[in-house]
Amino acid sequence: MDELLWEKIDREQPVAPHILAKMEEMRKKRMILPELKYIKRPAMIEGIRKAGEVNTAVLDEVGKHIRAGMTTQEIDDIVADCTAKHGAICAPLHFEGYPKSVCTSINNVVCHGIPSRLRKLHDGDIINVDCTTILDGYYADASRMFLIGNVSEERKRLVEETKKCLEAGLAAAQPWATVGDIGYAVSKYAHSKGYSVVRELGGHGVGLEFHEDPFVAHIGKRGTGMVLVPGMVFTIEPMINMGKAGVMIDPYDDWTIYTKDGSDSAQWEYTILITETGNEILTY
């Protein structure tokens, strides 16, 4: 966001005094608090919410067309076209050199899979489609899993239980809780079902930039990490592996991240807003 615009919003919509007072109280307890710039103001939240509506619509459009036999490039084309029709921009395109408009991660790909005209979806595949939208300078980010054709019960269960991991994290993401509470809830549920949790990658603040504070680990200890202050916007996006937690990056494209042991992986992602009474899902 333009710095002058940010200063104008900050001046006209400052953080509420009772929020600042509560932050100071927690700071005295040596808790980790976010910088004020990561506490979104009403005008910013409305902008992120609108970006989220587009992001959700794009993933809905993917869901209407995704099928066995199509290439992952066709998914990229759907995302690019639908985003443009809404007057928005695909955030991944050219971000730090990323070559496509969306990430398509199949089976043992944990995340950052690059769409290709050569890779077709096969009956039995599971795929994560990760979409980030910029609308009027505001970002929103979400991903969904899709089951292609006749998927094995083992893969179906992984996808379903990963969604429940996200829901556990969402339930823990309450005002004045901590990032550690989210990680604890996600990992406790995942481990109870016999799965492992990717540690190197996690959720992140979002709204004015692609990636902001806080880093949202999906492994954690209750009561630790940054405090969740009303007005914070971030993603929860657990990456859950059927096998071990280790991952590796493709040495050729330097983007695609696989499970180290070749086991399947699944991921769901929401962008959420911390409110004074709970949280709000901005895109899913």
pLDDT at 10: 82
The CA-atom distances, in angstroms, between 63 and each of 79, 128, 138, 185, 283 are: 11, 11, 24, 29, 15
Rounded to the nearest 5 percent, the helix, strand and coil shares of the chain are 35, 25, 40
Amino acid found at 89: I
When pLDDT is cut at 50, 70 and 90, the band that residue 1 belongs to is: low
Q: How far apart are CA 128 and CA 263, in angstroms?
A: 15
Q: How far apart are CA 157 and CA 155, in angstroms?
A: 5
When pLDDT is cut at 50, 70 and 90, the band that residue 168 belongs to is: very high
Given a cut of 80, whether residue 113 has pLDDT beyond it is yes
Given a cut of 80, whether residue 80 has pLDDT beyond it is yes
Average pLDDT, the chain: 97
Residue 70's Cβ-count burial label (10 Å; 0-12, 13-18, 19+) is middle
Query: Looking up tokens 């880093």, which residue turns up?
Result: 215
CATH class of 32-283: alpha beta
What SS3 class is residue 63?
A: helix
Joined tokens for residue 136:
């009027």
pLDDT at 117: 98
Q: Are 102 and 32 in contact (CB under 8 A)?
A: no
Joined tokens for residue 25:
């109280």
pLDDT tens for each residue of 171-204: 999 999 999 999 999 999 999 999 999 999 999 9
pLDDT at 69: 98
Domain locations in the chain as residue ranges: 32-283
